[in-house]
Amino acid sequence: MKKPFAVVAIFVAVCSVCFAAAGQYSFGDGRFYADLLPSDELYPEALFDIYSPQSDLTPMFLSGGVSNPIDLRAIVQDSAGMNQYVDLPYRDDDLGSDDNMYLRMKTGINLSLFRIGFGLHDALSKPLVEIEGSVQGTVSTLFCGFEKNDTLGFDGTYFFGANVRIADIVSLRFGLHHFSGHYGDEMLEKFYAKNGIDFSSSDPKLKINGTAYKYIGLMEYVRDNSYLMGVSVQTPWFVRIYGELEIPKNPSWIRPFAHTPADYENTIPGDEGRPTLIDRIGGDAADGEHWKQSQLDAEQELKRSGNYKALRIMTGVEVTVPIPSFGSVFAGVNIQLHQDGQTKHQYGQYSADNPWEFEITAGGGIEIGSGLRIEAFYHEGRVPALNWFYSRTKMVGVGFSIDG
């Protein structure tokens, strides 16, 4: 690792020198400019995208009648070596009606590295086309606002790519996007204890309704990495409309096995006997889900029957009305469509006729000059912690957010 470390050190040193030398330049009456680390980004983030690279501190309350998320989806194996996904609680379902608050804390960064602009937009007296290199990253967590404040999980996301803005109206984005879900440690400890989980390679002891199973692990959500492309249009009437499409790369890591498309390549070179990603993620590698080969083959065949690619589509609309000397008032709706909903998050359930899974988040608030937002929103969709994707919820959030 000394060599990569030295390479990174040299790269950082060279970047430093370049940064120091370049500065900010403008040529040809504004027809061309170069800007290092500009303070804003060309592609605006969706205000109500639960997964966006913004910083949030938001108490979220379950809507009336909605159950607390307490079931984890586990991978278990029966005595015949056949796997299945089963939902097992991490705690007793003895929560009161007041135990309905969760606190979401997300910290994020959204950085434009280098920007160039060229051409001249006469009406704006600024370049017609602007292009920038962009990096983003977030770490988020969702923990209980009751009892000992157990955390349900931690998520990591990042993006790197390029943004383009044309005539200050249309923004485009293209790059690689990463999602990685992690369960919370306190909740995991409770899960292991409550279900008598053992990690034996033989002599299974986990019992479900009196039947013994071998515990393989928990379902996890990973997209490492996907192509992400987006378009955003700022209309003249304070309204912004946007749409984004996310397609997992081939090869890439995709978890769980139930979400993996057919005939994606195994990313590990020389991994004999596991030619596809389904074989790798679902199979008997140390980090696999240990499904039987016949199950893997059946799942692969099933997914060949449609155009399944584990796509994610996001679209939405926002109204942002500026208020002089203050900031702005905004409202918006964000809709996310997950093609992996067609799998029902279960083995052997994929059908091209199944609907995509749908999430909607709608809300409004005010933004104070420097980017602090006070907002309230309603979310109907997945529990906003990636590894809990199989758990639907309805929540109301009231809190703060700032652009990363």
Partner 1 sequence: MKKFLASAFLILASISAGFAFGQYSLFDDAIDLELVPSDELYPEAIFDMYSPQTDFSLMDLASGQANPSSIRTSSLNTSTGKQEYVDLPYSDGFADDDDSYLRMKTGANISLLRLGFLDQRMEIEASIQGALDTIFAVFGGSTNLGFDGTYFAGANMRLFNTVSLRFGIHHFSGHYGDEVLDDFYNHNFPDGDTSFTRNDTVYQFNNLVEYVRDNSFLAGISIQTPWLVRLYCELELPKSPSWIRPVADIPADYSTFRNDEQSLIEAIGGDENFTASQLEADEASKRSGLYRAMRIQTGAEVLIPVKYVGTVFAGINVQLHQDGQTLHEVGGYSPDNPWEVEVTVGGGLDIAGSGVRVEAYYHDGRMPLLNWYYDRVKFISVGLSIDS
100-139 residues in contact with partner 1 (CB under 8 A) are 100-101, 105-109, 111, 137-139
Residue 199 binds partner 1 (CB under 8 A): yes
- Which residue number, 38 or 341, has a Cβ lying nearer to partner 1? 38
DSSP 3-state assignment of 63?
Answer: coil
Selected from 52, 83, 151, 334, the binder of partner 1 by CB under 8 A is 151
Closest listed residue to residue 317, CA positions, set 203, 236, 239, 398: 239
Closest CA to 84 of 275, 383, 346: 346
Q: Is 19 in the site for partner 1 (CB under 8 A)?
A: yes
Judged by CB under 8 A, which stretch of 162-170, 192-200, 313-321, 341-349 contacts partner 1? 192-200
Residue 404 sits in the site that holds partner 1 (CB under 8 A): yes
Rounded least distance, CB 239 to partner 1, Å: 22
**# residues near partner 1 by CB under 8 A:** 74
Contact range with partner 1 by CB under 8 A, out of 51-59, 124-132, 171-179, 314-322: 51-59
Q: Which of 89, 156, 243, 306 binds partner 1 (CB under 8 A)?
A: 156
Which residue matches tokens 């040529």? 27
Peptide bond into 127 cis (omega under 30): no
60-79 positions binding partner 1, by CB under 8 A: 61, 64
Residue 193 has φ and ψ, to the nearest 5°, of -70, -45
The minimum distance between CB 345 and partner 1, in angstroms, equals 19
Quick one: which of 90, 183, 388, 389 contacts partner 1 (CB under 8 A)? 183
Q: Which of 27, 95, 136 is nearest to 403 (CA)?
A: 136
Instruction: Quote the CA–CA distance of 149 and 185 in Å, as a whole number.
Output: 12
Identify residue 283 by its one-letter amino acid code: G
- Cα 75 to Cα 83, 131, 199: the distances in Å are 7, 45, 12
Piece of the chain touching partner 1 by CB under 8 A; list 42-50, 122-130, 185-193, 295-303: 185-193
Instruction: Note the helical H segments in 236-335.
Output: 277-282, 293-303
Quick one: which of 45, 78, 168, 186 contacts partner 1 (CB under 8 A)? 186
Interaction between residue 94 and partner 1 (CB under 8 A)? no
Helix or strand (DSSP H, E) at 7: helix 2-22
Q: Does 243 bind partner 1 (CB under 8 A)?
A: no
The answer to whether 182 contacts partner 1 (rule: CB under 8 A) is yes
* One-letter amino acid of 331: A
Question: Facing residues of 32 across strands?
Answer: 27, 118
Applying CB under 8 A, among 209, 236, 353, 370 the residue interacting with partner 1 is 370
265 binds partner 1 (CB under 8 A): no
Q: Is 326 in the site for partner 1 (CB under 8 A)?
A: yes
DSSP strands (E only) in 29-95: 32-36, 54-62, 71-77, 83-89
- Tell me, rounded to whole angstroms, the distance of Cα 150 from its chain centroid: 21
Tell me how many degrees the CA angle 387-212-199 measures, rounded to the nearest 5.
Answer: 55
Q: Which is nearer to partner 1, 243 or 371 (CB)?
A: 371
Question: Applying CB under 8 A, does 9 fall inside the site for partner 1?
Answer: yes
Give yes or no for residue 176 binding partner 1 (CB under 8 A).
no
Stretch of residues binding partner 1 (CB under 8 A), selected from 169-177, 198-206, 230-238, 334-342: 198-206
Residue 135: in which H helix or E strand, if any?
strand 129-144
What is the distance between the alpha carbons of residues 216 and 290, in angstroms, rounded to a whole number?
Answer: 7
Give 198 or 263: the residue with its C-beta nearer to partner 1: 198
The 8-class DSSP code of residue 94 comes to -
**For residue 66, which of 391, 399, 398 has the smallest C-alpha distance?**
391
Q: Kindly state whether residue 376 participates in binding partner 1, applying the rule CB under 8 A.
A: yes
| 276-295 residues near partner 1, rule: CB under 8 A | 287
Minimal distance in Å, beta carbon 135 to partner 1?
8
Contact flag: residue 192 with partner 1 (CB under 8 A): yes
| Interface segment toward partner 1; rule CB under 8 A; list 4-12, 160-168, 276-284, 341-349 | 4-12
Q: Does 363 bind partner 1 (CB under 8 A)?
A: no
Q: How far apart are CA 125 and CA 374, in angstroms?
A: 34
